[in-house]
Structure 1
Amino acid sequence: MPHPFPVNTLRLYVIPIYSTLLKPSNEIWRATYLSSRQTGLRIVATKGLPDWRAGQKRKARAILYGTSNPLRQVLSVSQLTAQVRVLIEDVFTDVYVVGEISNTKVYPSGHWYFSLKDKEATLPCVCFKTSNQAIKFRLEDGLMIVARGKLTVYPPRGAYQMVVNAVEPVGIGDWQLAFEQLKKQLESEGLLANARKRSLPLVPRRIGVVTSTAGAAIKDILSALKRRNKNVSIVIAPARVQGDGSAQEIAQALADLQTDPAIEVIIIARGGGSIEDLWSFNTETVARAVANCRVPIISGVGHETDVTICDLVADMRAPTPTAAAELVAKGRSEIAEKCDYFQGKLVTLMEGKLRSCRQSLLSLNPLSFLIAHEGRLKRHRLELKHQQERMIVMIARCLAEHRHRWRANAEKLASLGPLSVLRRGFSILRNRQGEVVCSVDQIEPGDELEALMEHGKLVLVVKAKSAEWQYPKERLNE
């Protein structure tokens, strides 16, 4: 594959910096080099030259021994960028850079992109997924770190950047920083609030335990439970408590124990160790599994001085695994003491309530109490009498109005009734069937009619009928 640099074969004196004397027989070798700029030479092949670039990290100076005129060549942008990239990658293969993080971005691919800056410069950086999986903490803007990696050039933008493979925070360890970051996140979600802590059952009948069956923690727990309460049953969900994958095993063990509806409380336990040994209990996986558990959880991880995220999320923290077992397996004497305590507290409260009621009764004057009620009764009697008088007046008024209305209607009915008409000389004619005769068309000569008058009736026989009649003239003159 042709190299983008113009190639010239020269004889060089390659002199390591650590040498104080020039020894041509030992320190001078032939070499083939590529010239890029007047500021540097790159040795690509040597004869007898130690591999100072790979292991010993020795610097060398190349002194021109012979010269030749280089071929004149016009470079494209890609060729020039490739030359710069080769130079930068060859010189800055393993560098440490301290700076402040800014413009942090985490892409769905898992790669981290950020910049390191100080007062005068900014360095773009990338940390690929294969490298950042070993970093315990999250990168945040404003965090001061020391990054280790190599420099390279990104040809599409023509900009140099640092490929980071390791990161260390400045002034605080990466383990402690990861702990503080997760603690802050869980606090913002309310998972560390005391309000969500649940109380432990007084006398649980079945207890779940999540720990390693090969450690001393399980032995301490079983010994404490046997010593204090033999009637409690134990369900053990074994899980690794350190190492890769242990956090997932602890979370799965918690999930398995929750399938047993008889379990009333769960103990998560592990013996003491370094922060690295206890790190499984500082992971977000375990913290969320503890927070989402349906039963109360006691965390007995490490010694009294060891504080983990699991301790902060759990409903109760015990300084040791033995103390965790003692919290849930109370002996008979402790239960009796607890009952005596509650009994004494109840008696004290009842006596205080009775004293308060007695004082309230003594503060009341029976005579004034009766007088106050007598006045109220007197006011109510007066009010009742007044309402009674008003009701009588309203009833009398209503009856008078109805009587008057009834009389008027009776007189009107009498004036319009048939008796008043008969009284004026009229009569009512009915045939044999009892039907009222209103027209001459309803009768024929010879029919027998009944005439109803004011004080009796007449039986009439029709001799003749006529459709015309005249009112008597003498009646008209009256």
Structure 2
Amino acid sequence: MKVSELNLKAKSLLEAHLSDIELSGEISKITLHSSGHWYFELKDEKSSIACAMFKGANSKLNFKPSIGDSLNLRGFVSLYEQSGRYQFIATSMSKSGFGDLEARFLALKAKLEGEGLFDDKFKKPLPKFPKKVGIITSSTSAALQDMLKLITQKEYFLAKFFVFNALTQGNTAPASLIKALKKADEAGLDLIIIARGGGSREDLFCFNDEDLARAIFSAKTPIISAIGHEIDYVISDFVADFRAPTPSAAIDLCFFSRFSLEQNLDLLQDKLKTLCEAKMTSLKNELFNLEKIFKMQSLPLKIEQNLKQNKELLKSFQNAMKNRLNLEELKLINLQNAFFQHENFFKRSKNLVSIQKNGKITRLNELKSGDKVVLSSQDLSKEAQII
């Protein structure tokens, strides 16, 4: 059998056995398609179902439904063959008497928002590890049992939990909730959770009360609103300091398990150890550098450096003096050599004779026969005539 064949048979069975059904609930989602068909979801406190109302049927109505409307439907159960999705096909629709709930909700929301009751600047921070926690809910509700069970599973041992019983449905519920809230707010708690499980729009509407909203806003203790399911929004969600999508989520989001706390402590210990080791290494390096600087600037080192410098200066001075003496000695030797050369010259010059003519020394090749000259030597001078 093909999938399409199975879906077709399922559709035939559903339409044959569930052909005339009356269904009531609240719209949680809706799409008014451009084709004229309406697609929406109808829910109660436990379940939801996909619904469709085709153009031929909805064109007879004098209103268009919206999210939050409580409706009475008549129709049959079918199956969409292409996806195999189970759905309710509405052939008629009427409001169940609570059609104005959404309008009342939106009007109060706009009023309180305009007054600033939803502003973040008024939100009180939630304590990270609250020691005293109050839970405002019905003491017989399944939501409370789920919360307490989760607290036990988490082994959350840092706080004591106090339950403040209150009505969470009906016309007298707002007054009961306000009374419990005032009592809890005066008990010196660190945190208050206002909780209620899922339900229809009508069931949850007591949390859209204006007096309750103002009581939540005026409370000194941080407040978590945990009403219905994730898709449910009430006024207390907006005015509270924090909104949890469900009562159980309030416990999950705001309280750590024993295991998580121990694991966080281990991580913090490892992080602290790493930071300490890095700091110690940094300080050791800094100390080593300071020690080097101190040694470089210490008096013994400076004296040693000065002595070394003096030795180098003395050695340079000695070398300079040695070089100067060598130079002077060389000059003296040169003078001695020159002296000895002149002495030898004088010794040799005793045998030398100079010829003067007319008082001037004259060379032999310049003399003529008959010239009168003076012959001079180191020992004597005599006149003579050139033959």
TM-score using structure 1 length: 0.35
Bigger relative contact order, structure 1 or 2 (CA pairs below 8 A, ≥6 apart):
2
Larger proportion of helix: 2
